[in-house]
Copies of this chain bind each other. A is one copy, B any other.
Amino acid sequence: LDYQHVQVPFEITLWIMLASLAKIGFHLYNKLPSVVPESCLLIFVGLIMGGIIYGLNDRSPPVMDSDIFFLYLLPPIVLDAGYFMPSRPFFENIGTILLYAVVGTIWNVFGIGFSLYGICQVKAFRLQDVSLLHNLLFGSLIAAVDPVAVLAVFEEIHVNEKLHILVFGESLLNDAVTVVLYKLFRSFCEMPTIKSVDVFAGVGKFFVVGLGGVLVGLSFGFTAAFTTRFTKDIRVIEPLFVFLYSYLSYLTAEMFHLSGIVAIISCAMGMKRYVEANISLKSHTTVKYFMKMWSSVSDTLIFIFLGVSTIGENHEWNWPYICFTVIFCLIWRALGVLVLTFFVNRFHVNTITSKDQFIIAYGGLRGAICFSLVFLLPDFHRKKLFIAATTVVILFTVFVQGMTIRPLVDLLAVKRKRESAPTVGEQIHIRFLDHLLAGIEDISGHWGQYYWKDKLEYFNSKYLQKILLREYDQPKSSIVLLYEKLERKHAIELAQAGQLGHSPAQPSFLCSGFLCSSSDRTVLADQKLEDAPNPDALDNMQEILARHLYRIRRTGPAYNRHTLPGDSEPSERAKEILILRHTNR
Contacts and interface: CB of A to CB of B under 8 A. Distances in A.
Interface of A: 1-3, 5-6, 9-10, 13-14, 16-17, 20-21, 23-24, 27-28, 30, 67, 71-72, 227, 230-231, 233-234, 236-237, 239-241, 244, 247-248, 251-252, 254-257, 282-283, 285-286, 289-290, 292-293, 296-297, 484, 487-488, 490-492, 494-504, 542-543, 546, 549, 575-576, 579, 582-583
10 contacts: A1-B255, A2-B256, A3-B255, A5-B254, A9-B247, A234-B296, A237-B293, A484-B496, A491-B491, A501-B583
Given A254-B6, A255-B3, A498 B579 contact: yes
Contacts of A72: 9
Contacts of A244: 13, 16-17, 20
Copies in the complex: 2
A268 to B, nearest CB: 16
Q: Which of A236, A492, A575: most chain B Cβ within 10 A?
A: A236
Contacts of A14: 248
A523 B227 CA distance: 46
B499 A492 contact: no
Nearest to A488: B495
A405 B268 CA distance: 44
A357 to B, nearest CB: 33
Given A3-B255, A234-B27, A502 B582 contact: yes
Most chain B beta-carbon contacts within 10 A, residue among A13, A241, A297: A13
Given A244-B16, A582-B504, A255 B10 contact: yes
Given A248-B13, A491-B495, A234 B23 contact: yes
B501 A503 contact: yes
A2 B257 contact: yes
A156 to B, nearest CB: 14
B549 A498 contact: yes
